[in-house]
């Protein structure tokens, strides 16, 4: 096979079909998101399931998500924390939060999900800490601010997952001007330099093109 975006997507679709399968609540959430005109930039199905497994592997009960969008990843996280668990998810756009609220409730996990509407820089300082896992998937320009809050609102042992670290290879450019690339490069350097974190990152190809995810432990 030639390594083309179409081939990456086809292979990713095979993985989704094989390992994730048909999931009516998640598919309804995507349909609601699309119908409301939200951007289709949610995590891929295999990425959502990775989040779900990371919560369960780490035993996280209190999860913070920065960037709710339409609630697709939120549902994956909320299922993983179990009945006594809690997900706090921060969303800057109230229209997105309204779509997410309906989909999360319809998925049957609404009682464990609190949506906080506002910019991360305004909402995060108001949160009570103690989160066991933090998923950062919001405006890339603010990634270092979000990492700082993840450390402050976490504890030694907290798992931090940062989405979209690949940016089609643009992360190598030290002359980058795209603020999303600059924000991502800065975040990766922070994960390498800041002694609060021990981190790695994996590039991915798939339904979302050439991208990747960073995984960190708060030490």
Q: Under the rule (CB under 6 A), what is the footprint of ligand DHB?
A: 41, 137, 163-164
Q: Least Å distance between CB 82 and ligand DHB?
A: 26
Cα pseudo-dihedral 77, 56, 161, 150, rounded to 10: 80
Q: Which token pair is 169? A: 């290879």
Q: Are 199 and 217 in contact (CB under 8 A)?
A: yes
Residue 137 found at the interface with Mg ion (CB under 5 A): yes
Binding mask 45-84 for Mg ion (x = CB under 5 A): ----------------------------------------
Interface pattern 147-186 for Mg ion (x via CB under 5 A): ----------------xx----------------------
Give the shortest CB-214-to-ligand DHB separation in angstroms: 13
Pairing of strands 62-66, 86-91: parallel
Instruction: Tell how far CA 3 is from the center of its chain.
Output: 26
Least distance in angstroms from the C-beta of 44 to ligand DHB: 9
User: First and final CA of the chain: distance in angstroms?
Assistant: 42
Measured from each CB, the residue nearest to ligand DHB is 41
CB of 114 to Mg ion, least distance (A): 21
The sign of the torsion formed by the CA atoms of 108, 48, 150, 125 equals negative
Q: How distant is the alpha carbon of residue 209 from its chain centre?
A: 16
CB of 84 to Mg ion, least distance (A): 28
Residue 22 CB contacts under 8 Å (≥ 6 apart), including other chains: none
Residue number, 158 or 204, with CB nearest to Mg ion: 204
Tell me which of Mg ion, ligand DHB, none is bound by residue 91, counting a contact when its beta carbon lies within the kind-specific cut-off of 5 to 8 angstroms.
Answer: none
Residues that bind Mg ion (CB under 5 A): 137, 163-164
């Amino acid at each position: 096979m030639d390594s083309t975006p179409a081939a990456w997507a086809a292979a990713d679709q095979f993985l989704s079909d094989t390992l994730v399968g048909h999931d009516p609540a998640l598919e309804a959430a995507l349909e609601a998101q699309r119908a409301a005109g939200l951007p289709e930039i949610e995590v891929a199905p295999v990425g959502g399931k990775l989040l779900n497994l990371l919560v369960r592997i780490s035993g996280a009960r209190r999860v913070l998500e920065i960037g709710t969008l339409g609630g697709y990843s939120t549902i994956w996280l909320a299922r993983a924390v179990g009945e006594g668990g809690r997900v706090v998810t921060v969303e800057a756009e109230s229209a997105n939060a309204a779509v997410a609220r309906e989909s999360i409730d319809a998925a049957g996990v609404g009682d464990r999900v609190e949506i906080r509407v506002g910019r991360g820089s305004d909402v995060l300082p108001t949160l009570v800490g103690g989160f066991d896992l933090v998923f950062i998937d919001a405006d890339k320009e603010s990634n270092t601010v979000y990492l700082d809050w993840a450390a402050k609102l976490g504890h030694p042992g907290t798992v931090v997952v940062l989405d979209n670290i690949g940016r089609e290879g643009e992360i190598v450019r030290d002359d980058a001007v795209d603020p999303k690339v600059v924000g991502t490069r800065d975040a990766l350097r922070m994960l390498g330099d800041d002694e609060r974190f021990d981190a790695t990152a994996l590039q991915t190809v798939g339904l979302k093109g050439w991208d990747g995810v960073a995984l960190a432990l708060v030490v």
